[in-house]
Amino acid sequence: MKENLSGKNIGFAITASYCTFKSILEPLKALVEYGANVFPIMSENASSIDSRFQKAEEYKETIRSITGNDIIDTIKDAEPIGPNAPFDILVVAPCTGNTIAKLAHGITDTSVTMACKAHIRNNRPLLIAISTNDALSGNAANIGKLLNTANYYFVPFSQDNALKKPRSLVAHMDLIPESIEKALEGVQLQPIICK
């Protein structure tokens, strides 16, 4: 796997599922270790809101120090991803229900949805790592739509607490590097539904 990711340019977009923020740090470090160039993007809500899980500025500093790159967090700065086509693949991890709904309906009003629209224009893979309590309710149709859309791939996911949150799904963030590798080959990593 290391060899396949070496030298790849990976856009890594983080949306505002704050409880999942920590779980993407190890996969991010792994991508850098494998020799990928990782370019962070954050939605405006991810970039600006201090949640009970962490302070935005502290988290952003961690992301900058892992990737060695500054963070794109405005629509203006995300737009050139279209004409410049800088990424071999764009990852959205974690991906909120809000962003999934927008992607499924062609809404482009955040830095991350702008990045996705710009990247998809170039006919390259977009990998989604869902993390949302409404995955099997309000967003089920949207996830289904994206599962059946060209160039969309999913990091395998499962119910994170089937008894207390029966509508919730969370991606297995540790599978991000492997999912990227497969998506770059045009293949969805399986099984997509994990235990």
Ligand X SMILES: Cc1cc2nc3c(=O)[nH]c(=O)nc-3n(C[C@H](O)[C@H](O)[C@H](O)COP(=O)(O)O)c2cc1C
As given in the structure block, the two tokens for residue 3 are 């060899």
- Quick count: other Cβ atoms within 10 Å of Cβ 103? 25
Phi, psi of 150 (to 5 degrees): -55, 140
Residues 70-99, interacting with ligand X (CB under 6 A): 96-99
Q: Which listed residue (24, 36, 46, 155) binds ligand X by CB under 6 A?
A: 46
- Is residue 120 within 8 A of residue 41, CB to CB? The reply is no
Q: Rule CB under 6 A: is residue 16 a binding residue for ligand X?
A: yes
Closest separation in Å from C-beta 162 to ligand X: 16
**Rounded CA separation 107/100 (Å):** 10
Of 5, 12, 17, 92, the one binding ligand X by CB under 6 A: 17
Rounded to a whole number of angstroms, the minimum distance from the CB of residue 4 to ligand X is 29
Quick check: 159 binds ligand X (CB under 6 A)? no
Pairing of strands 169-171, 157-158: antiparallel
Q: Is 37 in the site for ligand X (CB under 6 A)?
A: no
In angstroms, what is the minimal distance from the CB of 187 to ligand X? 27
Q: Which is nearer to ligand X, 40 or 88 (CB)?
A: 40
| Candidate residues 132, 156, 182, 189; the one interacting with ligand X per rule CB under 6 A | 132
Q: How many residues does the chain have?
A: 195
CB 36 within 8 A of CB 9: yes
Q: In which element (H, E) is residue 68 found?
A: none
Binding site for ligand X (CB under 6 A): 15-20, 43, 45-46, 51-52, 96-99, 110, 131-132
